[in-house]
């Protein structure tokens, strides 16, 4: 709870204690007015100020004005406790809403750790650390192992392996050497690079991603608060209605009917009319319905950042997915050994030992599949062939482990692999002994998640990924995803989501599900952004509106069902509260409804609506 929320909570407690204490006192009416004015101002001064500013700015009819008129009307009737209680309940509802939303979102760009802090520029044979903004096009920069590439450019010296997953979502780090283009934001994993810059920092890939996040956030659609929309029509109607009720009938009676105007009676009817119109049932039960929905979703492992996102999620008809880390585990594992002439365990042993000096993810997956302690003393004459693989002596035998290019370099015939994944071909003493398939496995519930979404009424599922087309098509086919687009950069993903948004109608909402830093811009641009919370990046989690705490995509369908139940209850409360109030307002205007009816229309309807709202917490049968 932030400072502002704690301050409101303190005011609520003070006002409640004072109201209860003063209720037990027997004092004169004027004294009671002064006493109850204290808790009223403690809890409601900010609402009165906002209402005053609204009047000053010619934006009179909002929920603040409605609350001010309703509570002042109750106090004018002499029911001081009612006036304080109405304002008290309103502030409690606002606190629920504020607490559910959580702390204000910080600037996403502050969390984007892909932004390099410095660049190593080469000047007169010396390396100087400077701000990336100071580097001009055509400058020579040096990137050491473990550092981020600060600016787009071309490698003029050095070979390395680049981790580009933060930018493209590409599942396997790629090799780069002299003449290759590199983009800013990716991480240099192995060798030292000398790069000639081709762009200024402001135009480089990493800067564009940051700009896209900020611009996408500013364009993001938001559901307008219901109370504000309702008050736009409700507040002026009841206020003008009360005024007309107090003035017109007495004038008609006096001028046209020759009767006594009975001003007191009609003013009392007008004040009763105002008390009946008090919006407690709406201003409390509706935020509470959303709050309960958020609580129910949290119990199911789904973190919803605000009530407006529940409303948007309920209207979702299109779900777009990232691949790596979202529908797949993002962890590389050996999934098979094919065309082998040696036992599988023996091939894995040779591969693990030959690759034991490398920190490459593929090497780690081979060592994991081997499953035994690595004795590096058995390995000699290690030769890493850049972009191709490793040649080493294991127990005195020459082992070659790498891609097809390595086999071609060594003149060793090899077997093609028809499965999707990374293939490590193996040769021992110049003889081909088979190949090892390494793949990013699907999440356990990924296929079930797609089926559940279709059962929930989702019209189309789409997958966007930076991975290779062959891999993406295979994953989409296995999962039953309707449409797939591969080999995309973050900007391409945003453009694709923009296209999908333009194709649907306004009432239908589009959700994007992702986990990486590269997904932050598109998470912000979609109608609703859903991030993986366990393994997802901080930037993706901050950019998203909803976070799956256990990374289980099956929870998406459940979250949609929770949101839809929440919205059903919200509309039930809206129709019930407005319906009862309209009936009571008519009865009040006719003089049939007295103050007890007014209190029922206010407090009674509020209690019933709140009890209905609490049902949103129960989602076990969804």
Contacts of residue 322, defined as CB under 8 A and 6 or more positions apart, other chains included, come to 169, 463, 464, 465, 493, 512, 513, 514, 515, 516, 519
- Helices (H), strands (E): how many in the chain? 22, 22
DSSP β-ladder status, 528-532 and 509-514: parallel
Round to whole Å and give the CA distance between 330 and 340.
27
Mark out the alpha helices in 340-402 (DSSP H runs): 344-354, 361-370
Residue carrying the six token digits 């100087």: 128
Residue 204 is classified by DSSP as: S
**Which stretch of DSSP H or E encloses residue 389?**
strand 389-394
> 296 phi and psi, to 5 degrees?
-65, -40
The dihedral formed by the CA atoms of 147, 150, 156 and 157, expressed in degrees to the nearest 10: -10
Catalytic residue among 79, 110, 152, 322: 322
Half-sphere exposure of 517 (CA within 13 A, CB side): 20
Tell how far CA 48 is from the center of its chain: 34
Round to whole Å and give the CA distance between 192 and 83.
72
DSSP β-ladder status, 316-321 and 422-428: unpaired
Closest CA to 160 of 190, 185, 187: 190
DSSP β-ladder status, 302-304 and 153-157: unpaired
Long-range contacts from 546-549, C-beta under 8 angstroms, 24+ separation: 546/302, 546/303, 546/304, 546/305, 546/309, 546/313, 547/302, 547/303, 547/305, 548/301, 548/302, 548/303, 549/301, 549/302, 549/303
Measured from the Cβ of residue 470, the count of other Cβ atoms closer than 10 Å reads 11
Distance separating the N- and C-terminal Cα atoms of the chain: 30
CA quadruple 486, 488, 492, 493: dihedral sign: positive
Round to whole Å and give the CA distance between 523 and 527.
8
Residue carrying the six token digits 């994944």: 421
Long-range contacts from 526-529, C-beta under 8 angstroms, 24+ separation: 526/320, 526/497, 526/501, 527/221, 527/312, 527/316, 527/501, 528/309, 528/312, 528/313, 528/316
Clarify whether 322 is annotated catalytic: yes
Round to whole Å and give the CA distance between 406 and 413.
11
Tokens for 33, please give them: 């007015």
Round to whole Å and give the CA distance between 449 and 488.
24
Which residues lie across from 531 on neighbouring strands?
A: 514, 547
Round to whole Å and give the CA distance between 417 and 411.
18
Q: Report the catalytic residues.
A: 322
């Amino acid at each position: 709870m932030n400072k502002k929320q704690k301050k409101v909570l303190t005011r609520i407690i003070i006002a409640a204690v004072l109201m209860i204490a003063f209720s037990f006192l027997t004092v004169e009416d004027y004294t009671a007015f002064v006493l109850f004015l204290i808790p009223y101002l403690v809890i409601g001064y900010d609402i009165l100020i906002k209402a005053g500013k609204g009047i000053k700015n010619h934006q009179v009819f909002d929920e603040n004005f409605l609350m001010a008129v309703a509570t002042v009307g109750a106090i004018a009737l002499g029911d001081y406790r009612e006036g304080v209680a109405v304002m008290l309940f309103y502030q409690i509802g606002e606190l629920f809403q504020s607490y559910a939303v959580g702390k204000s979102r910080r600037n996403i760009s502050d969390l984007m750790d892909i932004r390099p802090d410095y660049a190593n520029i080469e000047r007169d044979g010396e390396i100087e650390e400077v701000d990336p903004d100071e580097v001009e096009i055509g400058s020579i920069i040096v990137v050491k192992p473990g550092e981020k590439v600060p600016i787009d450019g071309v490698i003029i010296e050095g070979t390395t392996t680049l981790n580009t997953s933060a930018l493209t979502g590409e599942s396997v780090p790629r090799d780069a050497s002299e003449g290759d283009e590199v983009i800013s934001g990716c991480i240099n994993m192995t060798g030292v690079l000398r790069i000639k810059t081709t762009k200024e920092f402001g135009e480089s890939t990493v800067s564009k991603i940051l700009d896209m996040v900020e611009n996408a956030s500013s364009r993001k659609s938001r559901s307008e608060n219901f109370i504000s929309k309702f008050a736009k029509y409700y507040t002026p109607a009841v206020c003008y209605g009360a005024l007309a009720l107090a003035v017109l009938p007495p004038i008609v009676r006096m001028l046209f009917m020759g009767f006594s105007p009975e001003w007191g009676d009609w003013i009392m009817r007008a004040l009763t009319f105002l008390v009946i119109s008090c919006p407690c049932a709406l201003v409390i039960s509706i935020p509470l319905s959303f709050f309960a929905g958020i609580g129910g979703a949290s119990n199911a492992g789904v973190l919803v950042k605000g009530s407006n996102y529940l409303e948007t999620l309920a209207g979702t008809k299109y779900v777009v997915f990232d691949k790596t880390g979202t529908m797949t585990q993002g962890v590389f594992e050996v999934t098979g050994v094919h065309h082998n002439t040696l036992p599988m365990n023996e091939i894995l042993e040779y591969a693990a030992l030959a690759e034991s000096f490398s920190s490459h993810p593929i090497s780690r997956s081979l060592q994991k599949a081997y499953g035994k302690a690595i004795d590096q003393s058995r390995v000699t004459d290690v030769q890493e062939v850049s972009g191709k693989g490793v040649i080493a002596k294991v127990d005195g035998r020459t082992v070659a482990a790498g891609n097809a290019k390595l086999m071609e370099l060594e003149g060793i015939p090899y077997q093609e692999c028809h499965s999707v994944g990374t293939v490590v071909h193996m040769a021992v003493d110049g003889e081909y002994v088979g190949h090892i398939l390494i793949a990013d496995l699907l999440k356990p519930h990924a296929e079930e998640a797609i089926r559940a979404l279709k059962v929930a009424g989702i019209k189309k599922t789409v997958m966007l990924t930076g991975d290779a087309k062959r891999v993406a098509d295979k994953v989409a086919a296995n999962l039953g995803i309707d449409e797939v687009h591969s080999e995309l950069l973050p900007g391409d993903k945003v453009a694709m989501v923009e296209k999908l948004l333009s194709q649907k109608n306004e009432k239908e909402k589009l959700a994007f599900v992702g986990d990486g830093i590269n997904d932050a811009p598109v998470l912000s641009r979609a109608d609703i952004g859903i991030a993986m919370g366990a393994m997802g990046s901080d930037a993706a989690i901050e950019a998203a509106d909803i976070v799956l705490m256990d990374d289980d995509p099956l929870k998406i369908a459940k979250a949609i069902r929770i949101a839809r139940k929440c919205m059903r209850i919200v509309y039930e409360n809206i129709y019930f509260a407005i319906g009862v109030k309209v009936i009571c307002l008519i009865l009040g205007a006719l003089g049939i409804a007295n103050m007890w009816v007014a209190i029922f229309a206010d407090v009674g309807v509020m209690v019933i609506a709140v009890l209905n709202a609490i049902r949103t917490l129960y989602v076990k049968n969804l």
